[in-house]
């Protein structure tokens, strides 16, 4: 077990959470970055609410704005300082307003943020999220900015209070940090070495989420499948997946992101043999060139990567596999890029998160020879996008005619209001936009509908077949009802079964384009 405590952390009420008239001050958290950041933002929100703050009805009117930053991509700093520049004028007009900056870029730049944006009140890092209420109080009391960056994990993030965005789904961190040394990545220096949670702590958190109405969890880690490295069990992740299958009421289990070098056959077997582990897998490729993979210090080669996909599909034939790919890594030749296209063609990814390489100061790749001109990288990127769009469309077209179970979500369909459709995720994590037939029961977010796929685009499926439509009301839908009632100050009946219209507008995490 790591030194990070597993005991729940209590956040004391803060005087800074209340205005001069005694009313609670409002907050809003803006999230930039990955799923880990989204989960961290839930902890920041939970810590603030435990201290006495309340969520702002309109984020633009919040008394406290928290920006949870990312440092992985080149435009991360531009996004942060763009946000801060816009907030400077707002703060001048709003007495008592505070601005806090946390996350990976805060951990990296530290005091530099205050130098560039002296109107920021608090800067805190990835290792001390629970200090946010105290730092806000100290900044207000001392009337000066507070910068607190710890170099080691103070408490495991999941021991902090949380405010989940979704009633039906939850993120659960099983580890933080990373022991790899990929030359393009700054994460290890910002989040530290891998720290693993005890299996019992993880299972207890999952059980608490299920007891609260969740039917889906996503296990999180920088390299989720190296879980167990701290306590010396190489098969710990596979065992954890199997343990998920023993939790009554937990219908869907996902995880992100694994590392191909550590992805073992016992994990594939656990996925195939545990009914509630979903047939979806995110497997980062980064490059299809063995030469580039070596330069990236990715300790696998394309043959091993393709072999993993073959073994997954042998045991889970309907698995939808997604990936990450970087184009234009220093020294990448045209032949190297052609290797990437070849591997992508063979892999048949359902979708891919594609990135143009950008220099991240502090990484070994930033100092490498062979930095490529922007125009070359752009041309290669466009070719990759064209190939993957074609493959995604072909793979989605193959779904037409299938019946799929969709966990209804809130806000994933940007055009739902115009098309009169609702949206959600199939078991393989594909986004599905579906029509509710006339006079049929409308599902609530968290309910499950069975629909037949009638159309496809590269990033989503369409299901407009009225004959196949059925609804299964779930505990998650009941939990959504309770949330809605509580937000209006009206008691909710835990056994309510009356059909309810779906409201839109709650926050969600977008992982693909939408139609």
Residue 34, annotated as binding a ligand: yes
Residue whose C-alpha is closest to residue 437's, from 470, 404, 472: 470
Burial 204-236 (b: 16+ CB within 10 A, else e): ebbeebbeebbbbbbbbbbbbbbbbbbeeeeeb
Residue 488, annotated as binding a ligand: no
The greatest distance separating any two alpha carbons of the chain, rounded to the nearest whole angstrom, comes to 68
Looking up tokens 């005091």, which residue turns up?
A: 111
Residue 104, annotated as binding a ligand: yes
Pairwise CA distance, residues 253 & 271, whole Å: 10
Pairwise CA distance, residues 121 & 98, whole Å: 6
Residue 182, annotated as binding a ligand: yes
Do residues 212 and 173 touch, judged by C-beta distance below 8 A?
no
Helix-helix angle 374-397:334-347, to 10 degrees: 10
Provide the token pair at 373.
Answer: 């001109």
DSSP category for residue 238: H
DSSP H helical ranges for 52-103: 76-93
Residue 15 buriedness (CB in 10 A; 0-12 / 13-18 / 19+):
exposed
Q: What would the 3-class secondary structure string for 302-353 be?
A: HHHHHHHHHHHHHHCCCCEEEEEEEECCCCCCHHHHHHHHHHHHHHCCCEEE
Three-state secondary-structure class, residue 177: coil
Residue whose C-alpha is closest to residue 34's, from 410, 512, 509: 509
Residue whose C-alpha is closest to residue 396's, from 341, 325, 339, 320: 320
Residue 182 CB coordination number (10 Å): 20
Burial 326-362 (b: 16+ CB within 10 A, else e): bbbbbbbeeebbebbbebbeebebbbbbebbbbebee
Three-state secondary-structure class, residue 101: strand
Three-state secondary-structure class, residue 251: coil
Pairwise CA distance, residues 101 & 80, whole Å: 9
Binding region for [4Fe-4S] cluster? 34, 70, 104, 178, 182, 185
Binding region? 34, 70, 104, 178, 182, 185
């Amino acid at each position: 077990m790591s030194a990070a405590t597993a005991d729940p952390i209590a956040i004391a009420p803060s005087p800074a959470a209340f205005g001069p008239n005694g009313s609670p001050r409002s907050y809003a958290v803006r999230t930039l970055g990955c799923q880990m950041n989204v989960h961290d933002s839930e902890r920041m929100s939970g810590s603030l609410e435990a201290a006495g703050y309340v969520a702002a009805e309109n984020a633009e009117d919040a008394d406290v704005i928290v920006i949870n930053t990312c440092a992985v991509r080149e435009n991360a700093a531009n996004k942060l300082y763009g946000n801060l520049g816009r907030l400077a004028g707002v703060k001048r007009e709003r007495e008592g307003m505070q601005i806090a900056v946390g996350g990976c870029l805060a951990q990296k730049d530290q005091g530099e943020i205050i130098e560039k944006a002296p109107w920021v009140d608090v800067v805190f890092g990835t290792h001390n999220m629970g200090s946010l209420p105290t730092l806000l109080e100290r900044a207000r009391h001392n009337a000066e900015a507070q910068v607190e960056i710890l170099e080691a994990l103070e408490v495991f993030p999941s021991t902090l209070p949380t405010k989940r965005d979704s009633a039906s789904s939850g993120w659960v961190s099983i580890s933080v940090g990373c022991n790899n040394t990929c030359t393009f990545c700054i994460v290890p220096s910002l989040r530290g070495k891998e720290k693993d949670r005890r299996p019992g702590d993880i299972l207890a958190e999952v059980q608490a989420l299920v007891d609260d109405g969740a039917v889906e969890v996503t296990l999180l880690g920088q390299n989720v499948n190296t879980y167990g490295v701290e306590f010396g069990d190489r098969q710990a992740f596979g065992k954890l997946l199997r343990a998920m299958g023993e939790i009554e009421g937990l219908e869907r289990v996902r995880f992100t992101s694994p590392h191909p070098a550590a992805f073992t056959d016992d994990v594939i077997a656990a996925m195939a043999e545990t009914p509630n582990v979903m047939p979806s897998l995110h497997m980062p490729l980064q490059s299809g060139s063995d030469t580039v993979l070596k330069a990236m210090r990715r300790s696998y080669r394309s043959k091993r990567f393709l072999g993993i996909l073959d073994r997954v599909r042998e045991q889970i034939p309907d698995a939808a596999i997604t990936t990450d790919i970087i184009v234009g890594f220093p020294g990448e030749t045209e032949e190297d890029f052609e290797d990437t296209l070849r591997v992508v063609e063979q892999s048949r990814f359902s979708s891919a998160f594609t990135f143009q390489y950008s220099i991240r100061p502090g990484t070994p790749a930033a100092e490498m020879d062979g930095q490529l001109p922007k125009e070359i990288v752009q041309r290669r990127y466009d070719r990759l996008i064209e190939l993957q769009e074609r493959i995604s469309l072909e793979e989605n077209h193959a779904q037409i005619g299938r019946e799929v179970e969709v966990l209804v979500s809130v806000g994933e369909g940007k055009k739902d209001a115009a098309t009169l459709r609702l949206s959600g995720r199939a078991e393989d994590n594909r986004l599905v936009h579906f029509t509710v037939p006339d006079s049929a029961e409308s599902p609530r977010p968290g309910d499950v509908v069975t629909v037949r796929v009638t159309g496809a685009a590269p990033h989503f499926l369409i299901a407009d077949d009225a004959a196949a439509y059925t609804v299964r009301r779930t505990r998650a839908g009941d939990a959504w009802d309770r949330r809605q009632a509580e937000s209006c100050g009206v008691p909710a009946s835990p056994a309510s079964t009356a059909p309810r219209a779906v409201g839109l507008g709650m926050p969600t995490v977008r992982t693909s384009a939408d139609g």
